[in-house]
Amino acid sequence: MTRPTGREHTGKQRGMSVSSENRSVAGSIPSSCLVTIFWAAEKLVEETGVDVVKLHVGDPYFDPSEDVAQAFVDAVRRGDTKYTGVEGLPALREAAADKLRTDNGLDSEAGRLLISPGSAQGLTGLLQALAEPGAEILLPELHWPVHLQQSLLAGFRPVLYPLGPGFRPDPERIAAAATPRTRVLLINSPANPTGAVLDGDEIRTLLDLARRNRWQVISDEAYEHFCYEGDHISVASFEREIPVAERIVHSVFTFSKGFAMTGYRLGYVAPATDRMADVMKVVQEAGIIGTSTPVQHAGIAALNSRADSTAANRKLVQRNRDVALPPLIKAGLLRELPAGGWYAMLDVTRSGLDAESFAMRLLERKGVAVVAGNGFAMRPDVDDQGRIRSHDYAPWARHLVRIAFCVDPVELETGVRRIIEFVEECAAEAKG
């Protein structure tokens, strides 16, 4: 392990002094690659006023349908702004249960569902609910950095398993990475950042592996509405025939992506068992008390009109993918179009720059913000207390950068053109 954790640096950026006494797990976690570029882009805009082409954030260029905004405003206007139960509004849980039954093949009863302020909070709660002292969680070596942060904060020791070809989970490698302390396997299909979408056979094999080893499974289905070459398959749909008390798949969903409701902050969790739903209620009580009431009303409207909105939103992002990304394949920066999700991982080896230098120089020279891909492959060295002692990055991720293709089509095409130009310029400079 070669790098310091960056803990002191993080403290400075937040304007706090981190004393040497601060030995918390949270204090050992460095800022992620996502916020690093976010801050850099904001700073550039503030200092120079240039228009930055923002390909670094998974925020869509389209808005929620009008009925969603109306339901939110109506709830506020009629004063429906008091606390709801920790588990959420009964009417929203009913609507979510109906959607899960019809669209996802899950038979979760409304009574087992929990509404959360965004699926990130749902994931956090679920991880807290599942964490045991010393327990390990299996995450892919190329992962959403927030999954790693959440795991550490909940008290898990993350174990990163190597991926197979096309960044797909390989059951043999997962089994080889597991230890007797492994408790949870996290599955994220469609995946952030790789865009990989698992098929039914792959999911079944992973579930069999988890069941054989008595692991729990967390299925993060944030991008369920964005599959471009087939249908999304929910992991928990394979557990329908299993008695509820024996199920192991805990699923997490969001309104942020399919309904373009990122800033509303709304998601929901379908715990596998009644017991886990009860534990989650305690965690939600302690962590959030409840989810914003008017936002939950907006969620009901979103679910009621979902057939039109989610299909329309998928088409918009798919069009972006099909129109804007092929030039990256032609330029040798992208192997194939992502099968799902909102992101593409580019290989910028030809530029001669490592991912972090590439992202920073691209921002400075071309005004395009992308995320350095090595940050999705951080490898923490964790001590006995669950604190990061040091970290490095998988060497094979040194030349990867992630772009989001859910953004405005003109911005996206501009960003892609500038990325290709920049790579050509860097390659020419390197040749001398």
Ligand X SMILES: Cc1ncc(COP(=O)(O)O)c(C=O)c1O
288-347: contacts with ligand X (CB under 6 A): none
263-292: contacts with ligand X (CB under 6 A): 267
How many residues line the site for ligand X (CB under 6 A)?
A: 13
Q: Smaller CB distance to ligand X: residue 72 or 144?
A: 144
Tell me which residue has tokens 């240039």.
50
C-alpha to C-alpha distances, 346 to 65, 194, 416, 419, nearest whole angstrom: 32, 10, 11, 10
Residue from 72, 144, 228, 238 touching ligand X (CB under 6 A): that is 144
Alpha helices by DSSP H, 192-292 = 200-212, 274-287
Q: Smaller CB distance to ligand X: residue 65 or 351?
A: 65
Least distance between ligand X and beta carbon 1 (Å): 26
Sole window of 115-123, 165-173, 225-233, 317-325 interacting with ligand X (rule: CB under 6 A): 115-123
Residue from 31, 192, 237, 351 touching ligand X (CB under 6 A): that is 192
199-208, long-range: CB within 8 Å, 24+ apart, which pairs? Answer: 199/230, 199/233, 200/233, 202/168, 202/169, 203/233, 203/235, 203/238, 204/238, 205/171, 206/169, 206/171, 206/174, 206/235, 207/235, 207/238, 207/239, 207/248, 207/249
Sole window of 79-87, 102-110, 254-262, 421-429 interacting with ligand X (rule: CB under 6 A): 254-262
Q: Smaller CB distance to ligand X: residue 108 or 351?
A: 108
Count the neighbouring beta carbons within 10 Å of the beta carbon of residue 1.
12
55-74: contacts with ligand X (CB under 6 A): 58
Sole window of 118-126, 152-160, 291-299, 424-432 interacting with ligand X (rule: CB under 6 A): 118-126
Residue 222 as a binder of ligand X (CB under 6 A): the answer is yes
Sole window of 114-122, 357-365, 366-374, 423-431 interacting with ligand X (rule: CB under 6 A): 114-122
Residue from 10, 84, 108, 262 touching ligand X (CB under 6 A): that is 262
Cα 165 from chain centroid?
A: 21
Tell me which residue has tokens 């959403």.
144
Cβ atoms of 97 and 108 within 8 Å: the answer is: yes
Residue from 30, 64, 88, 118 touching ligand X (CB under 6 A): that is 118
Residue 188 as a binder of ligand X (CB under 6 A): the answer is yes
Sole window of 61-69, 113-121, 151-159, 411-419 interacting with ligand X (rule: CB under 6 A): 113-121
334-339, long-range: CB within 8 Å, 24+ apart, which pairs? Answer: 337/228, 338/190, 338/194, 338/195, 338/196, 338/228, 338/405, 339/190, 339/195, 339/196, 339/197, 339/227, 339/228, 339/229, 339/230
Contacts of 73 (CB under 8 A, 6+ apart): 294
388-407: contacts with ligand X (CB under 6 A): none
Least distance between ligand X and beta carbon 5 (Å): 24
And the tokens for 145?
Answer: 């950095």
Residue 254 as a binder of ligand X (CB under 6 A): the answer is yes
Q: Smaller CB distance to ligand X: residue 188 or 351?
A: 188
Nearest to 219 by CA among 201, 198, 242, 240: 198
Residue from 28, 182, 256, 284 touching ligand X (CB under 6 A): that is 256
Residue from 87, 220, 239, 347 touching ligand X (CB under 6 A): that is 220
Residue 352 class from Cβ within 10 Å (0-12 exposed, 13-18 middle, 19+ buried)?
A: middle
Residue 119 as a binder of ligand X (CB under 6 A): the answer is yes
Residues in contact with ligand X by the rule CB under 6 A:
58, 118-120, 144, 188, 192, 220, 222, 254, 256, 262, 267
